[in-house]
Amino acid sequence: MLDKQIISLDAVTITAGGGTQNGTGLDMGADVEEVNWELIGPLGGTVTSLDWKIEDSPDNSTWTACSKLMRVAAAVANVQAYMTIMSAQRYKRAVIVSVGASLTGAFSSGPVPGGEYTRY
């Protein structure tokens, strides 16, 4: 069961012309490997597509995709999406790729509690 409460925020704001926007790296600690991640926020303008992925980094400066690009919305007022990622890297951030005209949006993205701990 997934508790839908973000426990740490990574804010991502869409620019008017669309494109790729990177979130801020979140320090998840050295022991977190499986993470349930949420993206929520309002979306305005003429939206062609909105894609979302998570990147990870060992040092908060060199980033690699740790999830596939996920199509979130084509034309929706309020975005809410979830994914589970596996990564042994300490830092994680959201990346949004948007296409459209006069886009607006300020998204919150981050880990949410849930899942099953299997290392007893």
CATH number, domain 10-112? 2.60.120.260
Both tokens of 78, joined, read: 């309020």
Domain limits of the chain?
A: 10-112
Q: What pLDDT was estimated at residue 2?
A: 40
Q: What pLDDT was estimated at residue 1?
A: 38
Q: What pLDDT was estimated at residue 117?
A: 46
Q: What pLDDT was estimated at residue 110?
A: 77
Strand residue runs (E) in the chain: 10-14, 19-22, 26-27, 34-57, 64-65, 70-73, 78-86, 91-112
Q: What pLDDT was estimated at residue 106?
A: 76
Report how far residue 16's alpha carbon sits from residue 98's, in angstroms, rounded to the nearest whole number: 10
Max distance between CA atoms of the chain, in angstroms, equals 50
43: exposed, middle or buried (Cβ count in 10 Å: 0-12, 13-18, 19+): buried
> For every one of its 120 residues, what pLDDT tens digit does the chain have, with 9 covering 90 and above?
344 444 556 667 766 667 888 888 888 877 767 778 888 877 777 778 888 889 999 999 999 998 888 887 665 677 788 888 888 888 988 888 888 777 777 777 877 766 554 444
Q: What pLDDT was estimated at residue 64?
A: 94
Q: What pLDDT was estimated at residue 28?
A: 82
Report how far residue 15's alpha carbon sits from residue 90's, in angstroms, rounded to the nearest whole number: 28
Q: Do residues 111 and 9 touch, judged by C-beta distance below 8 A?
A: no
